[in-house]
Amino acid sequence: MITGSSTLRQVAFIVGTALSDHGITAVLSGGGAATIYAPDAVQSRDLDFILDYWGALGVTDEPLTKLGFRRESGTYIHPETRFTLEFPKGPLAIGDELVTSWATLEDNGQVLNILSATDSTRDRLAWFLFSRAPDYSALAQAVAVAKNNLVNLDLIRDWCRREGCLDRYAIFLDRLGGA
């Protein structure tokens, strides 16, 4: 049950489990995923779950309304929590690269599909790499996720190289402590 004292992690697991119980695969991304991976450094107020076929295969918002959420202009709001839910249009991707696998976390019988720590780092880093004016708060989130989790820096570096952003990757690596 979602209450006023529910943490983002608790809400994410409750929602993830409710969706999974209804046969819906939704993957947490964005700042919500970064908060799960680095809760002391990142504090998101929304949970972005990505799924490809919302509505196309008979998927409804029934699991969310059963939890007490109501839809307002594409955002799901719950009267007991400040955390909101959004379902950005899929497919699940970071930049132009499709993400075809993710982590599934379990906690006390609940499940949460979430970007891997490496992909969460890339997701946050993308906001720094691809913005005209680099988003340094997103860079800080990417660094926090990478510092608090085992991530594949070779994969991240290769991705940055393919995207033509090795100069900004160097800034990320410097903030990470030269790991």
Confidence category of residue 58, pLDDT binned at 50, 70, 90: very low
Confidence category of residue 133, pLDDT binned at 50, 70, 90: confident
For residue 89, the cross-strand partners are 51
Give dist(CA 31, CA 37) in Å, integer. 10
49 Rama sector, left if φ>0, alpha if ψ -120 to 50, beta otherwise? beta
What share of the chain has pLDDT > 70, as a percent?
94
10 Å CB burial of residue 36 (0-12, 13-18, 19+) is buried
CATH code of domain 8-114: 3.30.460
Query: Cα 179 to the chain's mean position, in Å?
Result: 24
> Looking at residue 117, what is its pLDDT?
98
Length of the chain: 179
> Looking at residue 95, what is its pLDDT?
83
Would you list the domain boundaries of the chain? Answer: 8-114, 117-176
What's the mean per-residue pLDDT of the chain? 92
The mean pLDDT of 74-92, rounded to a whole number, is: 93
